[in-house]
Amino acid sequence: MGSLAVTTSAPGTAGNTSSDTNARPWATAIVFKSDGNSSNQHIWNQGEGASTGDDNIYVRQDASGNMYFGWGRSGAINECRIGDGFNTPTQQWFGLYVAHNGTRLSGANATAANLADAFDIRFMRRDENNNNVWEILTGGYADGVGNRSTTNNWNAGTTGGRMDRSVEGYFSIGGRRNNRNFHGKVASMVVTTLRTGVAMPADAEIEMMITDPKQWEDDYRVGQFVRWAYSTSITTYTPSNYTYGYGPVQIWLMGDGGSDSYANGIRNEVYPSDQNNTKLNLNSMVSNDIQNVTIPGLS
């Protein structure tokens, strides 16, 4: 988001990203499984850390297994409660998609209704009647709809936090850098910029981003325009270029990548040769933390 500390206007057309010159819309998708640990743990986090005044954007699971998406700092956080029951050791794999349309609100405007309009949050799991088919869940906490970013779900969390502070720091998967470690497994993670003033990703794209990240790249990024890593400029997607390739599109397959290893770290599959900007470093981990798993229905 370019370290911007601004408010931005909402889209003029419902279902689109913001056209504001300072808008920096984005989307993420992660496949994970909890192991039953009862603690407050971050599944992913972009931000500054645990000190007073540190700003973070994150997905966390609390000790009771409730899942939240949040944006802000201690005492001024916006949180959406998006699901429950994630901390049982026999729980199956889930895919969670979180996208932001670029709207950034003042504290006074960060109401549940306005926050609901600014995000698209979905999660998927295998169809209980067909383990090889994944489905976007349409039931669950508070609202029986696919998009979990609803007024009721934001009201079930917290609202009123300013979104006009810059969010810097580090991107972490499986924790908030050095704390709130996630007790479970992560199979893949996708982070991408979205262009301004266009339609948000539809169901088919969301599903593919979760279930087959490399095919998603082929179908939705190769040969298409992509928003630069730090501005609203767009250029034809070029994987080997940081500004409009492996910077704005990052795909980690958590050991399944061709260059992934304990020694190499987890490489961005968009451009695995990169060792400086988008490689995941293994922090407080050991070699056998990279494990083989089988997840029916995923590629």
Q: What is the full per-residue pLDDT of the chain (299 aa) written as tens digits?
A: 999 999 999 999 999 999 999 999 999 999 999 888 888 999 999 999 999 999 999 999 999 889 999 999 999 999 999 888 777 666 678 899 999 999 999 999 999 999 999 999 998 876 656 666 676 665 444 344 479 999 999 999 999 999 999 999 999 999 998 889 998 999 999 999 999 999 999 999 999 999 999 999 999 999 999 999 999 999 999 999 999 999 999 999 999 999 999 999 999 999 999 999 999 999 989 999 999 988 887 87
Position 83 scores a pLDDT of 83
Position 43 scores a pLDDT of 95
Three state DSSP letters for the chain: CCCCCCCECCCCCCCECCCCCCCCCEEEEEEEEECCCCCCEEEEEEECCCCCCCCEEEEEECCCCCEEEEEEECCEEEEEEEECCCCCCCCCCEEEEEEECCCECCCCCCCHHHHHHHEEEEEEEEECCEEEEEEECCCCCCCCCCCCCCHHHHHCCECCCCCCCCCCCEEEECCECCECCCCEEEEEEEEEECCCCCECCCHHHHHHHHHCHHHHHHHHCCCCEEECCCCCCEEECCCCCHHHHHCCEEEECCCCCCCCECCCEECCCCCCCCCCCCCECCCCCCHHHCCCCCCCCCC
Position 139 scores a pLDDT of 47
């900007």: which residue's tokens?
277
Position 143 scores a pLDDT of 40
Domain coordinates of the chain in residue numbers? 26-289
Cα separations (Å) of 130 from 76, 126, 205, 295? Answer: 43, 7, 21, 13
Position 194 scores a pLDDT of 98
